[in-house]
């Protein structure tokens, strides 16, 4: 039998109007404070690329080493690195940034499991969040590109949120690079077969919103080539 979630029971408890008003009011202030802290902290970081991927990836995994190499190369091109601040691919990204002497930023989220800030985040560039949606806004607002390594639901959430915002023109386009064709090919086939051909839920041009690569050099080139079209470099 499936275990009961106490949060479901709590959601259906009757609350007085005063409780509702008080909890909602304080919740709004807490959300505002996370936005203000995030905006003020990130505004001084300069151009950065965000690296996403699984928190469960171990250091001996080839994708860990690849993420570290990509981060290092990006710092040599003038970019700082933003990650979710945790272990796995996030740790690899921060480690590569630190090795390359670039800005190493961690946007950590308070979770009941698996999330402690990794040791490769710059001391003055570690931010803590309670709300996923605030954290995602900061990722999108202050990134000049997304590097998306193999990951789970959280990685896919961040990927598709960015694709949706660009597709609907809520934000300007920026490069989104998926690393690991073996990992991403199944998803790409499903997008082409089901979303595009069978159901016509997206346009063919939407497939151009991201690029799949396999090497660190290709990943960095994809970021740099995007901005060369606009005659921009990381020190803009």
Tens of pLDDT along 179-202?
999 999 999 999 999 999 999 999
Please tell me the distance from the alpha carbon of residue 74 to that of residue 196, in angstroms, as a whole number. Answer: 33
Query: Residue 235 above 50 pLDDT?
Result: no
Cβ atoms within 10 Å of 185's Cβ, excluding its own: 12
3-state SS class at 13: coil
| Domains along the chain with CATH numbers | 15-228 (3.40.50.450)
pTM score, whole prediction = 0.90
Cα separation, 231 vs 166, whole angstroms: 21
C-beta of residue 122 within 8 angstroms of C-beta of residue 103: yes
pLDDT of residue 232 exceeding 80, the answer is: no
Distance between CA atoms of residues 42 and 127, nearest Å: 9
Q: What is the dihedral of CA 121, 113, 153, 118, to 10 degrees?
A: 10
At 10 the pLDDT is: 65
In the block, residue with structure tokens 């995994």: 61
Residue 204: is its pLDDT beyond 70?
Answer: yes
Indicate if the pLDDT at residue 209 is higher than 70: yes
Alpha-carbon span 97 to 103, nearest angstrom: 6
Res. 24: pLDDT tops 90: no
Q: ∠ at Cα 139 (137, 224), nearest 5°? A: 135
- Give residue-wise pLDDT tens across range 73-90: 999 999 999 999 999 999
What does the chain come to in residues?
A: 236
Phi-psi region for residue 5, left (φ > 0), alpha (ψ -120 to 50) or beta? beta
Give the model's confidence band at 21: pLDDT under 50 very low, under 70 low, under 90 confident, else very high.
low
């Amino acid at each position: 039998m499936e275990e009961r979630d106490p949060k479901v029971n709590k959601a259906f408890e009757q609350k007085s109007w005063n409780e509702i008003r008080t909890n909602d009011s304080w919740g709004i202030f807490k959300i505002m404070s996370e936005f203000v802290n995030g905006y003020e902290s990130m505004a001084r970081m300069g151009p950065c690329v965000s690296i996403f991927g699984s928190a469960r990836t171990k250091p001996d995994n080839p994708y860990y080493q690849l993420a570290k190499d990509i981060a290092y190369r990006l710092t040599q091109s003038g970019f700082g690195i933003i990650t979710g601040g945790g272990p796995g691919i996030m740790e690899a990204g921060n480690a590569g940034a630190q090795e390359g002497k670039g800005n190493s930023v961690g946007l950590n989220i308070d979770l009941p499991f698996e999330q402690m800030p990794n040791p490769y985040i710059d001391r003055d560039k570690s931010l803590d969040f309670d709300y996923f949606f605030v954290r995602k806004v900061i990722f999108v607002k202050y990134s000049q590109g997304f590097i998306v390594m193999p990951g789970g639901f959280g990685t896919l959430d961040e990927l598709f949120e960015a694709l949706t915002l660009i597709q609907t023109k809520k934000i300007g386009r920026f490069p989104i690079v998926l690393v690991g064709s073996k990992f991403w090919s199944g998803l790409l086939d499903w997008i082409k077969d089901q979303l595009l051909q069978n159901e016509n839920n997206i346009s063919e041009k939407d497939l151009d919103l991201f690029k799949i690569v396999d090497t660190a050099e290709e990943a960095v080139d994809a970021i740099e080539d995007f901005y060369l079209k606009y005659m921009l470099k990381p020190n803009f």
